[in-house]
Homo-oligomer: A and B are copies of this chain.
């Protein structure tokens, strides 16, 4: 029954590290951007049942609720001092991502941002947002809805309040991944805003994933190709590698075992351990452990070669099809199709190959 040797997992969904100093296909980055975005800040989700979603993020992820008011839940990670990094609001006709948020360093950066977006002919308007300082609501060229603000109310960090800890002890929001029709074009826009690339995946001249950052570690914003703009996922850090298992165990205990969509595994780009879950409305959240620092200006983007989107380099099976194709629309924002739809190696195709072999 046993064969001598083992079947090779088909290599075609595995990434290959490009040679250093190979030509960088990415657009230029402005190291002196017109205003100072400091980090990815928050996500506002529209959900069918705020209480149910809140319980998911609190019990499984370990977020704490800073405030619940007017039917809206404001959550933050255990080491966050800001008022919220995740906002859960009642959905209209269907769940969606309402907005994502970035921080700028000083309030004056908001005025510079407004001028910048207006000059580009992009939407930019002042909005009142509870528990945030002056807030500018803009759209990027893909149509993604984005809040910019320079301050929130400050609250005690909870990472040592061990008696209040739950679930995977999520520490802080780290990044989001956005699916857009033209990631290369959008990369140029974010490069102009000072977003640098830590690592990226490409197939020849086609950009398959661009991992960009402002805050001095690998990632604030990942861009991948697809029908967009859509929020593919947002991600929280967990403190220890054992917490990746805690995500799964708490998910299971609270009835969300089936919501573990991908992982546990280890990404090639950035090299972190990860697990992806779908929340009660199908919004996707990633939990992962720590990113390396990327502060120094002499660092060049690391390129990975791949036939299609995957982050597997070291070990692990392909993601299921829906990980590649399902994401959260931005409420009220029309969708655009890419010139060519991605055709990734999915678990379904991989297993079909196994069955035939």
List residues of chain A with CB under 8 Å of any chain B CB.
1-9, 31, 38-39, 48, 59, 79, 81-82, 94-95, 103, 105-106, 133, 150-152, 154, 157, 159-163, 166, 171-172, 215-216, 226-227, 230, 239-242, 244-246, 248-254, 257-261, 264, 266, 271, 273, 278, 280-283, 290, 292-293, 295-300, 313-316, 320-322, 325-329, 335, 347-348, 350-352, 354-355
Contact = CB atoms under 8 A, between A and B. Distances in A.
B315 A39 contact: no
A258 B320 CA distance: 18
Contacts of A283: 2
A154 B21 CA distance: 11
Identify the 7 closest CB pairs spanning chains A and B, nearest first. Answer: A351-B351, A252-B314, A151-B298, A348-B355, A257-B315, A79-B292, A6-B278
Nearest to A91: B4
A350 B248 CA distance: 20
Contacts of A39: 216, 293, 295
Looking at A2, A94, A296, A329, the one whose CB has the most chain B CB atoms below 10 A away is: A2
Given A6-B261, A81-B299, A163-B166, 5 more contacts: A1-B227, A4-B94, A160-B253, A161-B253, A245-B266
A273 to B, nearest CB: 6
B59 A1 contact: no
* Most chain B Cβ neighbours within 10 Å, of A172, A254, A260: A260
Given A245-B273, A278-B6, A154 B348 contact: no
B297 A105 contact: yes
Given A227-B1, A352-B355, A257 B314 contact: yes
